[in-house]
Amino acid sequence: MPEVTERLAARVRRDFPDTASADDLIRRLGDLTDSERIQSAVVLWAPGDVAKFSDSIALAAIDWRDVLVRGGLADDGWPARLDEELGSSET
């Protein structure tokens, strides 16, 4: 089963503070893909909005590239934006 990185899980918990809801959303991200980039684009598009989150999950099943555009992670600078939004991936 694909996983969600700790930094992305922390962002989901911050954006969706209801613990049960956040855990379900994290599970749904893991079920979607193992790509942190795509998972993050879903979260960045829908800060705190479960309907937008669900819409992006559905869109990713059709064309994940559209989700990257929505989440602002389609351009070459996406790794820096991801670090900016989630914190550095380096430990």
Expressed as residue numbers, the domain containing 13 is: 6-86
The phi, psi pair for 41, rounded to 5°, reads: -60, -40
Largest alpha-carbon pair distance within the chain? 35
Structural domain total, the chain: 1
Split at pLDDT 50, 70, 90, the class of 91 is very low
pLDDT of 74 higher than 80: yes
pLDDT tens string 4-42: 999 999 999 999 998 778 999 999 999 999 999 999 999
State the sign of the Cα–Cα–Cα–Cα dihedral 50, 52, 56, 62. positive
Task: Identify whether 1 is part of a domain.
Answer: no
In this prediction, residue 89 carries a pLDDT of 77
* DSSP 8-class letter at 26: H
In this prediction, residue 1 carries a pLDDT of 52
In this prediction, residue 18 carries a pLDDT of 82
Task: Identify whether 91 is part of a domain.
Answer: no
